[in-house]
């Protein structure tokens, strides 16, 4: 007996779910950093150009594969062609590795939200006043940097908060596609948008942020010039590669998510229009994230005589060290802003983690015929076990450094820098030269009278996309392993 596959209630539900997946930590800490580094508006223009071409091609392909096969990524490829079954396995390894460390970071966010809520109530800034002790019991580091280091280096707290985050995801997943994922997005997405717009609007009213807004939004062509002031192809290439790397992470591409979510999509709904709406939602949040962060960090750096580039730290440094210093500068109001900000980040992380978790659960269900709740329960223990490595990688297991990286950074490298580009390249080769673009186009035309981007899609999937993604693969490996002094 074949179990009827779950489905979204409509096209809007699918768009919200896919957009919720795309809007995550990549938008909120990596996009602002890269935009600040690569000329503000210059980077935004390059990013938008890539989203509507390369990003569109990959997302349309994955959604069409999912809807065509009615399977998750683990079994979808083998259903289309037996020889490409291993690609489905590789695509499934990605979310299985990402979810645990993503939930650990989600746990960090929960910790900071809870801390700022306490600061807002008590009036005592436990982050700014925190004192970190060295091995001899002497004060070593004070303030936000010490607070963050002590927390992630603690023997249990990072895992405890991460486990709580995993549990919340599991509860949503267990409720199903319509009653869990869909309904949670109907609540979380509007709240996320309102909070993001509210914080961005508040930032524009602060003294000294005008220069930061200009720094962020106005294209700065100096980012494309070398030290002699001449236009540099190398700088342009770095900007493009940085934007492409961000696009992969931001749009949830090559993670199995869009194939899984596409398998729940109704045949009458438009894939092309849905993808365009997802791109708009994702880009708006990414740009607003920059409006929330860059102007205040810029203003804070200028005020304290700190180099702008240093202030715009990538990753955790920006969100968990630099921003708390900025919030402390606001006084009592800063605690409230900090609480709202980290609640927003928690929602964004949660929606993305749910989609990654769902890709894992759907794969278990499709392969083993397991019931959803049993598969959710099974994956909970797998994720919790793997989360231990990232949770303890800055503390008791801090001396274990594969390729010179802590566990969390290593897992991020393996998935984002290596596996995701490989899966995307092979998928393009499979669709462009084995399955044929006609099959994808036929699936797209199920919900449309015409495929407006058909010409661009064919050229991109067969020729342009594989080359561009291969460039991302090489550059990301070189950057992460320090080969050829390559930096992005």
pLDDT one-digit tens code per residue, 290-340: 999 999 999 988 888 888 777 776 667 889 998 999 999 888 889 999 999
Those residues whose C-beta lies under 8 Å from the C-beta of residue 304, and which sit 6 or more positions away, are none
Which of residues 34 and 277 earns the better pLDDT score? 277
Tell me the CA distances in angstroms from 181 to 168, 174, 175, 243, 359, one per residue in order: 12, 9, 8, 29, 12
The answer to whether position 3 is within a domain reads no
Separation CA 366–CA 198 (nearest Å): 42
What average pLDDT score do residues 60-78 get? Answer: 97
Separation CA 92–CA 282 (nearest Å): 23
Q: Which two tokens stand for residue 65?
A: 């594969």
Separation CA 363–CA 305 (nearest Å): 52
Q: Which of 33, 106, 120 is nearest to 337 (CA)?
A: 120
Tell me, what CATH number does 246's domain have? 1.20.1740
- The tally of CA atoms less than 13 A away on the side-chain side of residue 83 is 6
The answer to whether 312 touches 294, Cβ cutoff 8 Å, is: yes
The answer to whether 64 touches 440, Cβ cutoff 8 Å, is: yes
Separation CA 212–CA 204 (nearest Å): 10
Q: Is 369 exposed, middle or buried (0-12, 13-18, 19+ CB in 10 A)?
A: exposed
Q: What is the rounded end-to-end Cα distance, in angstroms, of the chain? A: 52
pLDDT per residue as tens digits for the range 412-469: 999 999 999 999 999 999 999 999 999 999 999 987 889 999 999 999 999 999 999 9
> How many other CB atoms sit within 10 Å of the CB of residue 401?
13
* pLDDT value at residue 139: 56
SS3 131: strand
Strand ranges for 88-239 from DSSP E: 131-133, 139-142
3-state helix, strand, coil in the chain (%, to 5): 75, 0, 20
The answer to whether 396 touches 155, Cβ cutoff 8 Å, is: yes
SS3 256: coil
Highest mean pLDDT among 103-107, 281-285, 321-325: 103-107
The answer to whether position 5 is within a domain reads no
pLDDT over threshold 60, residue 262? yes
Those residues whose C-beta lies under 8 Å from the C-beta of residue 446, and which sit 6 or more positions away, are 67, 267, 268
pLDDT per residue as tens digits for the range 215-260: 999 988 887 888 777 888 888 888 898 899 888 888 889 999 999 9
Separation CA 258–CA 15 (nearest Å): 11
Q: Which two tokens stand for residue 455?
A: 């010409």
Q: Which two tokens stand for residue 472?
A: 């991302």
Predicted TM-score (pTM) of the model is 0.94
Pairing of strands 139-142, 131-133: antiparallel
Separation CA 460–CA 467 (nearest Å): 10
pLDDT per residue as tens digits for the range 1-56: 456 788 999 999 999 999 999 888 888 878 888 888 888 899 999 999 999 999 99
Separation CA 133–CA 77 (nearest Å): 53
Containing 317, the helix (H) or strand (E) segment is none
* pLDDT value at residue 136: 61
The answer to whether position 4 is within a domain reads no
The DSSP annotation for 195-238 comes to HHHHHHHHHHTSTT-HHHHHHHHSB-GGGGB-TTSSB-HHHHHH
Which domain, by its residues, includes 165?
11-485
Which of residues 108 and 33 earns the better pLDDT score? 108
Q: Which two tokens stand for residue 77?
A: 């490829």
| Residues shown for the chain | 488
Q: Which of 103, 108, 104, 101 is nearest to 324 (CA)?
A: 108
Separation CA 35–CA 39 (nearest Å): 6
| Sign of the CA dihedral running 220, 221, 222, 226 | positive
Torsion of CA 316, 322, 324, 330, to 10 degrees: -150
The answer to whether position 303 is within a domain reads yes
Average pLDDT over the chain, rounded to an integer:
91
Q: Which two tokens stand for residue 317?
A: 């440094």
The answer to whether 306 touches 43, Cβ cutoff 8 Å, is: no
Separation CA 260–CA 76 (nearest Å): 9
Containing 52, the helix (H) or strand (E) segment is none
Cα 43 to its chain centre, rounded Å, is 18
Q: Structurally, how many domains does the chain consist of?
A: 1
What average pLDDT score do residues 339-359 get? Answer: 95
Tell me the CA distances in angstroms from 280 to 8, 22, 111, one per residue in order: 20, 11, 31
* pLDDT value at residue 443: 96
pLDDT per residue as tens digits for the range 366-414: 999 999 999 999 999 999 999 999 999 999 999 999 999 999 999 999 9
């Amino acid at each position: 007996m074949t179990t009827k596959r779950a489905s979204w209630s409509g096209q809007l539900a699918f768009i919200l779910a896919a957009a919720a997946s795309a809007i995550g930590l990549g938008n909120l800490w990596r996009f602002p950093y890269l935009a600040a580094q690569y000329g503000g508006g210059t980077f935004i223009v390059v990013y938008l150009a890539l989203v509507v071409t390369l990003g569109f091609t990959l997302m349309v392909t994955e959604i069409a594969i999912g809807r065509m096969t009615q399977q998750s990524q683990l079994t979808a490829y083998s259903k289309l062609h037996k020889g490409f079954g291993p690609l489905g396995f590789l695509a499934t390894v990605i979310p299985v590795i990402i979810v645990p460390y993503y939930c650990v970071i989600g746990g960090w966010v929960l910790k900071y939200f809870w801390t700022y809520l306490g600061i807002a109530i008590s009036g005592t800034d436990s982050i700014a006043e925190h004192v970190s002790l060295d091995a001899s019991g002497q004060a070593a580091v004070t303030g936000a940097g010490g607070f963050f280091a002590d927390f992630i280096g603690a023997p249990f707290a990072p895992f405890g908060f991460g486990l709580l985050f995993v549990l919340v995801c599991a509860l949503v997943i267990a409720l199903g596609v319509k009653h869990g994922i869909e309904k949670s997005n109907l609540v979380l997405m509007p709240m996320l948008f309102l909070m993001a717009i509210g914080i961005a609007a508040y930032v524009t009213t602060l003294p000294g942020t005008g220069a930061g807004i200009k720094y962020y939004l106005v294209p700065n062509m100096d980012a494309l010039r070398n030290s002699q002031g001449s236009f540099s192809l190398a700088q342009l290439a770095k900007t493009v590669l940085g934007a492409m790397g961000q696009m992969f992470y931001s749009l949830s591409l090559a993670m199995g998510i869009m194939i899984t979510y596409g398998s729940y999509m109704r045949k009458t709904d438009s894939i092309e229009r849905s993808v365009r709406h997802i791109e708009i939602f994702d880009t708006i949040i990414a740009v607003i994230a920059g409006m929330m962060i860059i102007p205040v960090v810029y203003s804070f750096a200028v005020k304290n005589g700190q180099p702008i580039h240093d202030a715009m730290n990538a990753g955790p440094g920006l969100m968990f060290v630099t921003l708390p210093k900025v919030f402390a500068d606001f006084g009592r109001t800063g605690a409230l802003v900090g609480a709202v900000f980290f609640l927003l980040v928690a929602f964004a992380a949660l929606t993305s983690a749910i989609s990654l978790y769902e890709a894992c659960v759907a794969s278990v269900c499709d392969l083993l015929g397991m019931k959803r709740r049993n598969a959710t329960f099974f994956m909970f223990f797998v994720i919790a076990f793997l989360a231990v490595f990232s949770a303890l990688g800055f503390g008791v297991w801090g001396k274990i450094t594969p390729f010179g990286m802590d566990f969390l950074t290593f897992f991020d490298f393996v998935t984002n820098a290596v596996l995701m580009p490989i899966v995307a390249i092979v998928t393009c080769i499979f669709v462009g030269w084995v399955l044929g673009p006609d099959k994808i186009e036929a699936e797209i035309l199920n919900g449309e009278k015409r495929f407006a981007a058909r010409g661009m899609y064919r050229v991109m999937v067969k020729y342009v996309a594989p080359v561009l993604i291969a460039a991302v693969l090489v550059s990301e490996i070189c950057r992460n392993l320090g080969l050829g002094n390559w930096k992005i």
